[in-house]
Every structure is written in C-alpha cells, then in structure tokens.
C-alpha cells in the first residue's frame, strides 16, 4: 500500500496548444494510503484518463506519478503493483470462477495454499463461494462483474485498487449491495480504493474523499459533506445534489448586496462587483411575502417527489427550486411568496469560484 | 394469455416456389443425375443396364481408391496441422493499426488472389532444379530435390504449395478474431500480471474460437477437394504419390469414361466430406459448449 502523488498533465495530441487539447489540465494532488476516493465527473471529463495514468496503462505526456515518493511515471502496472477493475466485466472464458480469482496470484507465483485461502476469503465476501467451480463464461453480467471485482481485490499487498465505473452493468438493487460490500471490504482489508463514476450517489456513498472533475480539470477535492455545503466551484454546486444548487446573479456596490435591484444585507464581507449567490434547494426557505430580507417570488410549479416536495419559483427573472418536507403545506401555483436566500449556508461565487 | 390459432393458408407454399426451383436446378437435379448414373452400367448412350449397388460395392473394394483416400487424409491432416498454427502465428505478429496494418493485410492477402492453375504453374517453375529458385537452391545445397521423380518430394511440394496459397486465409480470419477483442481484456491481463503466453492461452485463443472453427472447416473442405494445383504441378505423380481423391475421380469419369463407378464414388466422396464436416463442427461446438456450461447471455 502506498501514497500516490500526481503532478502532471496529459494530452492525447502530440503538441497541445490550448486548454481544449488536454485531456487532463496540469494538476497536483495526492491520494493518502488506505483512503477511499471517488473521481466524479460527467463523461469525457478526464477521470478515466487519470485512472489509467495511475495504474500505468497510460504514460502522462507531462509531469510525474509518484508512489510513496518514488517516481513511477514509466513503471508498468506490474511494477506499481496496482489492481484495476474495468467498466465492463473482463473474465477468462475458459476458467472456472475460482481459477479466475486465482489468476492474478498464480501469475505472481504465490504458493498454492495461500492462493486457495485468499480466493476462499474473497469469494466469501462477494457471496460467490457456492459458484467457485462453475465456468465463469456461463454466468450473468453482474456475476461476471463480481468476478472482476474479486480479481481486483484478491491480491493482499496491492498499492491501490482502481475502479473504472465498475457498477455500470449491474442491476440497481445489486448496485446497492455491491457498493456496501466494497465499503465493507475497504474497512476489512484497509486497501486504498479509487473509484471512478459519473453517478454522484455512488461517489458520495462510497468515498471519504470525492474528487470532482470537469473538462480535464479537478475543481474540488473534499468530503461529501464539504461538496454539499461549500462547493468550491459553481460546477460542483450544480453537479452535486438533486436538484443541484440554485444560482442567483447579484451585485455588490459600496458594500451593499442587491439582487434584481432589491437590497439585501449579507452576513459577511463581500468584494464589489458582479457575483452569484448559491443556495441549496434544501436551504431555500419559503416565508410570507414582505418578510424582512426575503425576495418576492411567484410559485410556478409544485411537485411531490415522494420523500419531499419540490417547489419551483420565479425570482427576478431567475428560476429557483426549494425542497420542502413532505408533510409541509405547499403553496398553490401562482401564489406570491417570499424567499429567504441569505443565511449561513449561502455560498458566494465570483467568476464561478467560491469566495465567501 | 390466449393462444391465437392462425388460419391455415396453403398459398404460402407458392412463396417458396422460386427458391425451390433454384435449389432444384442448382443442387437436387444434378445430384439426382449422379445418383441415376451410379446405379446403371452405361455401355453406350443407347444401352444401359440397371446394376443396383454393384458399383458402390466395387468402388469400396478398389485398392487405388483406398490409396487415394489415405493420401487425401494425410494431406488434409497435414494442411490443418501446419496452416492453422502458422496462420495464428502470422495473425499475432501482424501490426494492429495504422498504415502498416493495411499494407500487411494487402501483402498477406496477395496469394489468395492468384488463380489455382497459376499457383500450380508458379510452383512448377519455382521447384525446377535447373531454373527454379527453390529447386536450384536446394540442388546447390546438395539436396537431390525433384518433385517429378521423388514421391516424397512431390507430396511435400504440393503441401508447401497449399500452405503458401492458403495460410493467409487462416491468418486473415484469425486477425479478424484478434481485432474484435476489446482493449479492456489486454488491460486486465496487464493488471493481473499475465505473461504473453497466458494472454494467448486465456484471452486470444478462446476469443478466436469462432473464426478458427470456420478456418478449420474451410481449409478441411478445400484441401479435401484439392484438384487443380497438384494436377498442374505433378499431374498426380510420380506414380500415385500426389493423386488425391478428386483427381482419382476425374481419371475415372473423364479419363476412362467409367460413369457408373465414378458416380458411385462421387456420392461416397460427398458423404465422406459431409461426415467429416459434421463431426468437426459438432466437436468444436461441443468444445464451446463446455466452456459456456449453462450459458445464458
């Protein structure tokens, strides 16, 4: 097990000229030993590129990869002693489940009795003990993916286990189970796990630290809570949460904050100029019209999502969404209401970056 | 759920009539003529006698036929033993992408474009001891090589010619099989620390099974029916060393005009090929089945 330090950039083109030519813009980050990380971002944001650079399947065009301070930029996956699980199940058709699981150990000449013990342990964890002697090729897609996961976890001494959207092919109810399993395995085996996904629920439930990426750039690395409470970038606010964060353009002049021409009093110091307010739907409160510090709004839509009510309002030409408890009395469509946009949870953005 | 019973509509038979006519003229009628010949002794166009299964019995006891059949089996076996592994090896060493891949494909496929009789002629000249590149070189190395005089040399030359002509087909098929393997398999193998041999044994070979099955069947059938190339190169000689089944058949039917025995033999020949293909196909299917025991995806 080891700590992984990245200080690199990657471009698939030979002579990158502008930002758009890079799959990964210059970045610097560290993955601590034994942590559970998630790389989260939309498709094409560079997360798989980053994963392949860490595993050694790809050599970065610029910069270096260090394992425990040792330069491993050009080392093979074998030398890095890394395990990786791919998006689609990869199994060896001619082998049984047990032989599949044993394959990485056998290739490394681990003694037979150790292999057997370890394969038994992993199969137990994945609840595949009864299938060990079956041909792997005959199993269903999610069983196959479980074998792939097992092969990733079977080596006890790996530097890290990398997952590249491993649950894409799995049924939703099994997804839950497997994710819990992975979390449990993380606690039991104390492996460094790095998990790539575009599904925020997956990332937030799995990882201690989530790395949010967009367009080849890491925009924030933090705990799920930090990503929710204090998104460092409007993209994070928008991408995390369901629905995402509300953004409201505002203006600061001579220390006074105004939204749509209406003055509000902020609870912190703000620099002058055009800014954006970021309010999570969870923290947007509906108050009677005319309440102090509330913006007048018109209710456009009320949706019952089951576990909460979603109220969509128009405020000064912007659309804001608020989440209410399911037992709250919802306003009617067309009602005039007040919206409390300022509070301790409100975030302030300038040029899309968090500033207060 | 209700089971709907469709009304019986016999008009549908008319729709398969065109296909039936095509198949009748292309396969059934010619085959039946052969069957017709095989049970008659045709003395002259006007005089023919029904002889029942006599020709079949006679052909089955024919020593020359046994020799030709044995020769044929050895030859087809050797063709498969050499061409399949060689084709796989060739496919594995071909570049995967880029202009080099295209160039290699074209060069490898060249021999497939040459007509059979030209191939025979090429090798006839190639093997000549006085002016042929191979023949003369072997002579100079002190090997008394002669495909017209030495039975073994003739047999090996025909084999070599077939390998030269048809291994590219196996290589192209294997290459197509290799290219269809997703990169993730190779990545996973690298992560799992698999050796080159393990990658071949556990990924490439199983994934090529389907195309290799086609390659084995094609090469078996083609080599079992080989005619033109040995005919041009050696004419079946020296002696009967390179007389394979189809050449034996031609000698009977065209050379001696023994239509009855030739027809009986044709049918036996046809059944042999059918039997071999059936056995080979089932064997390879079985091989796949055990690998996919209880498979349902």
Give contacts of B297 with chain A, Cβ < 8 Å. Answer: 139-141
Give contacts of A84 with chain B, Cβ < 8 Å. Answer: 187-188, 191
Q: Are A189 and A156 in contact (CB under 8 A)?
A: yes
B63-258: CATH homologous superfamily?
Answer: MetI-like (1.10.3720.10)
pLDDT tens readout for residues A131-161: 888 888 888 888 888 899 889 888 888 888 8
Q: From B90, B191, B91, select the one nearest A92 (Cα to Cα).
A: B191
- At residue B167, the pLDDT reads 94
Neighbours of B100 (CB within 10 A): 11
Determine the residue of chain A that is closest to B290 in CA distance. A135
* Segment among A96-110, A233-247, A286-300, B278-292 with least mean pLDDT: B278-292
What distance in Å separates the CA atoms of residue A179 and residue A200, rounded to the nearest whole number?
13
* CB-based burial, B166-200: b 16+ in 10 Å, e otherwise: bbbbbbbbbbebbeeeeebbbbbbbbbbbeeebbe
Second CATH level (architecture) for the domain A245-354: Beta Barrel (2.40)
A137 touches chain B (CB under 8 A): yes
- At residue B66, the pLDDT reads 85
The answer to whether B207 contacts A57, with C-beta atoms less than 8 Å apart, is no
- At residue B297, the pLDDT reads 37
Residue A1 pLDDT > 70: no
- At A109, phi and psi to the nearest 5? 60, 40
B207 touches chain A (CB under 8 A): yes
**Is A339 in a helix, a strand, or coil?**
strand
B183 touches chain A (CB under 8 A): no
CA angle centred on B185, ends A137 and A34, rounded to 5°: 100
**Is A135 in a helix, a strand, or coil?**
strand
Q: Residue A66 forms beta bridges with which residues?
A: A5, A71
- At residue B294, the pLDDT reads 41
Question: pLDDT class for A280, splitting at 50, 70, 90?
Answer: very high
- Edge to edge, what strands does the sheet with A70-71 contain? A24-31, A4-10, A62-67, A70-71
Q: Is the peptide bond before A243 cis (omega within 30 degrees of 0)?
A: yes
Each domain of chain A, given as residue ranges in start order, spans 4-235, 245-354
Give contacts of B292 with chain A, Cβ < 8 Å. Answer: 93, 135, 137-138
**What are the start and end residues of each CATH 1.10.3720.10 domain in chain B?**
63-258
Neighbours of B16 (CB within 10 A): 10
- At residue B176, the pLDDT reads 92
A4-235: CATH homologous superfamily?
Answer: P-loop containing nucleotide triphosphate hydrolases (3.40.50.300)
**Is B100 in a helix, a strand, or coil?**
helix
The helix/strand count (H/E) of chain B reads as 16, 2
- At residue B296, the pLDDT reads 39
- At residue B293, the pLDDT reads 46
B126: Cβ–Cβ under 8 A, 6 or more apart, which residues?
B132, B133, B134, B135
Cα end-to-end distance, chain B, whole Å: 27
- At residue B1, the pLDDT reads 47
What distance in Å separates the CA atoms of residue A148 and residue A84, rounded to the nearest whole number?
9
pLDDT tens readout for residues A71-126: 888 888 888 888 889 888 899 988 999 999 999 999 888 899 989 999 998 888 88
Give contacts of A76 with chain B, Cβ < 8 Å. Answer: 190
- At residue A119, the pLDDT reads 92
Q: Are B154 and B234 in contact (CB under 8 A)?
A: yes
The answer to whether B292 contacts A83, with C-beta atoms less than 8 Å apart, is no
A108 touches chain B (CB under 8 A): yes
Question: A21: which DSSP letter?
Answer: G
Q: Are B120 and B165 in contact (CB under 8 A)?
A: no
Give contacts of B192 with chain A, Cβ < 8 Å. Answer: 103-104, 107, 151
pLDDT tens readout for residues A34-59: 889 999 988 888 888 898 898 888 88
Neighbours of A241 (CB within 10 A): 19
Across the interface, which of A57, A94, A151 has its CB nearest the CB of B187?
Answer: A57
- At residue B171, the pLDDT reads 94
Across the interface, which of B185, B293, B297 has its CB nearest the CB of A90?
Answer: B185
> By CB neighbour count within 10 A (0-12 exposed, 13-18 middle, 19+ buried), where does B265 fall?
buried
Six token digits for residue A55:
């595993």
Question: pLDDT class for A342, splitting at 50, 70, 90?
Answer: confident
> By CB neighbour count within 10 A (0-12 exposed, 13-18 middle, 19+ buried), where does A290 fall?
exposed
Which of A78, A90, A152 should be substituted to probe chain B, the one whose Cβ sees the most B Cβ atoms within 10 Å?
A90
- Edge to edge, what strands does the sheet with A285-287 contain? A285-287, A336-340, A294-304, A309-315, A318-324
What distance in Å separates the CA atoms of residue B213 and residue A131, rounded to the nearest whole number?
30
Per-residue pLDDT 10s for chain B (297 aa) are 456 677 777 888 888 899 999 998 888 888 888 888 888 887 777 778 888 888 888 888 888 888 888 888 999 999 999 999 999 999 999 988 889 999 999 999 998 998 888 888 898 888 888 888 888 888 888 888 888 888 888 888 889 999 999 999 999 999 999 999 988 899 899 888 888 999 999 999 988 988 898 898 889 888 888 888 888 888 777 877 788 888 888 887 777 777 888 888 888 888 888 888 888 888 877 776 665 544 333
**Is B187 in a helix, a strand, or coil?**
helix
Give contacts of A57 with chain B, Cβ < 8 Å. Answer: 187, 190-191
Angle between helices A172-189 and A141-153 (to 10 degrees): 10
Helix (H) or strand (E) holding A62: strand A62-67
Q: From A323, A344, A335, A313, select the one nearest A248 (Cα to Cα).
A: A313
Query: If you search the block for the tokens 């196959």, which residue do you land on?
Result: A144
């Amino acid at each position: 097990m080891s700590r992984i330090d990245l200080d690199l950039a990657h471009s698939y083109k030979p002579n990158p000229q502008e930002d758009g030519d890079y799959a990964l813009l210059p970045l610097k980050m560290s993955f601590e030993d034994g942590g559970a990380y998630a790389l989260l971002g939309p498709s094409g944001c560079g997360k798989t590129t980053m994963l392949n650079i860490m595993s050694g399947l790809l050599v970065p065009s610029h910069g270096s990869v260090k394992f425990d301070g040792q330069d491993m930029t050009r080392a093979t996956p074998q030398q890095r002693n890394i395990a990786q699980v791919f998006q689609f199940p990869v199994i060896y058709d001619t082998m049984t489940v047990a032989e599949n699981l044993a394959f990485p150990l056998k290739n490394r000449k681990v003694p037979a009795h150790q292999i057997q013990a370890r394969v038994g342990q992993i199969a137990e964890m994945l609840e595949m003990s009864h299938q060990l002697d079956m041909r792997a090729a005959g199993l269903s897609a999610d069983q196959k993916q479980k074998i792939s996961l097992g092969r990733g976890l079977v080596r006890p001494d790996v530097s890290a286990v990398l997952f590249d959207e491993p649950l894409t092919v799995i049924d939703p109810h099994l997804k839950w189970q497997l994710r819990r399993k992975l979390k449990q395995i993380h606690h039991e085996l104390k492996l460094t796990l790095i998990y790539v996904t575009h599904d925020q629920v997956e990332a937030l439930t799995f990882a201690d630290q989530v790395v949010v990426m967009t367009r080849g750039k890491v925009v924030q690395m933090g705990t799920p809570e930090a990503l929710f409470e204090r998104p460092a970038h409007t993209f994070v606010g928008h991408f995390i949460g369901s629905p995402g964060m509300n953004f409201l353009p505002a203006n600061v002049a001579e220390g006074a904050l105004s939204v749509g021409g209406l003055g509000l009093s902020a609870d912190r110091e703000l620099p002058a100029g055009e800014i954006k307010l970021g309010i999570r739907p969870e923290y947007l409160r509906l108050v009677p019209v005319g309440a102090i510090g509330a913006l007048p709004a018109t209710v456009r839509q009320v949706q019952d999502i089951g576990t909460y009510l979603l109220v969509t309002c128009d405020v000064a030409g912007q659309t804001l969404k608020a989440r209410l408890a399911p037992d709250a009395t919802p306003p009617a469509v067309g009602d005039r209401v007040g919206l409390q946009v300022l509070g301790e949870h409100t975030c302030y953005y300038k040029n899309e970056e968090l500033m207060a | 759920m209700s089971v709907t019973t469709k009304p019986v509509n016999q008009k549908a038979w008319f729709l398969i009539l065109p296909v039936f006519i095509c198949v009748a003229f292309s396969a059934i009628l010619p085959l039946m003529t052969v069957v017709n010949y095989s049970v008659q002794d045709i003395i002259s166009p006007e005089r023919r006698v029904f002889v029942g299964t006599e020709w079949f019995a006679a052909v089955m006891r024919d020593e020359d036929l046994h020799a030709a059949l044995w020769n044929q089996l050895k030859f087809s076996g050797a063709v498969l033993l050499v061409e399949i592994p060689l084709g796989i090896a060739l496919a594995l060493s071909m570049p995967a992408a880029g202009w080099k891949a295209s160039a290699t494909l074209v060069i490898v496929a060249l021999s497939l474009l040459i007509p059979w009789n030209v191939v025979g002629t090429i090798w006839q000249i190639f093997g000549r001891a006085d002016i042929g590149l191979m023949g003369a070189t072997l002579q100079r190395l002190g090997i008394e090589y002669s495909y017209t005089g030495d039975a073994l040399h003739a047999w090996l030359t025909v084999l070599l010619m077939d390998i030269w002509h048809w291994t590219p087909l196996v290589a192209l098929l294997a290459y197509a099989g290799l290219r269809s393997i997703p990169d993730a398999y190779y990545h996973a193998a690298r992560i799992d620390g698999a050796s080159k041999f393990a990658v071949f044994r556990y990924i490439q070979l199983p994934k090529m099974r389907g195309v290799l099955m086609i390659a084995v069947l094609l090469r078996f059938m083609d080599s079992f029916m080989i005619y033109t190339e040995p005919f041009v190169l050696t004419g079946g000689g020296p002696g009967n060393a390179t007389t394979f089944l189809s050449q034996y058949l031609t000698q009977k039917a065209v050379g001696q005009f023994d239509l009855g025995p030739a027809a009986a033999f044709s049918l036996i020949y046809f059944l042999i090929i059918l039997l071999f293909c059936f056995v080979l196909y089932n064997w390879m299917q079985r091989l796949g089945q055990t690998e996919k025991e209880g498979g349902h995806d």
